[in-house]
Amino acid sequence: MNSSRPYLINALIDWISDNDCTPFVIVAADVDGVEVPDEYVESNRIVLNISPRAVRNFGIAEEAMTFDSRFGGRPFSVVAPLAAVVAVYAKETGQGMAFEVGTTSLRPTGGDAPRRGGQTRPTLTVVR
């Protein structure tokens, strides 16, 4: 199956925008393939405003998020592999979702729940 990560990131951005909030993404700048302005990176992370007013040519493909933006008045083409996306959240409320860095799909946590017939199935656990 295809990775669920691009679909989840897109859905979160749409949900945040539909609620009249500003979508922000946190990207791990030390992951291979990340292209962001180094002077805005703190503790190997960069927070990016990805609202339609802040970016142009925004796109999410199977492997990366790309867009054009301005940093300190200077144009910059951002490339963020989806494995580098740490979180997507609404600036105004802080609501959103965090992701495990370095993977391209979500992995269940919390062990396996038993199924009928002795088989097990993955379960998800809320981590705060």
In a domain, 74, yes or no: yes
Strand order in the sheet with 45-49: 45-49, 23-28, 85-90, 96-98
**CATH code of the domain covering residue 60:** 2.30.30.220
> Is 115 a domain residue?
yes
Helices (H), the chain: 5-18
Please state which of the ranges 8-17, 25-34, 92-101, 103-112 shows the lowest mean pLDDT.
103-112
- Per cent of the chain over pLDDT 70 is 80
Domain region containing 35: 5-122
Strand 96-98 and strand 85-90: pairing? antiparallel
Pair type for strands 64-71 and 56-60: antiparallel
Write down the pTM of the prediction: 0.78
In this prediction, residue 2 has a pLDDT band, given cuts at 50, 70 and 90, of confident
- pLDDT tens by residue, 20-41: 999 999 999 999 999 999 999 9
Q: Among 66-70, 107-111, 113-117, 118-122, which is the least confidently predicted range?
A: 107-111
In this structure, is residue 127 part of a structural domain?
A: no
Q: What total of structural domains would you count in the chain?
A: 1
Q: Is the pLDDT of residue 110 over 80?
A: no
Look up residue 3 and give its two tokens. 């990775």
Tell whether 128 is covered by a domain: no
The answer to whether residues 17 and 24 touch, using CB atoms and an 8 Å cutoff, is no
Q: Determine the Cα–Cα distance for residues 18 and 15; give it in Å rounded to an integer.
A: 5
Contacts of 31 (CB under 8 A, 6+ apart): 81, 83, 84, 101, 102
Within a domain: 107: yes
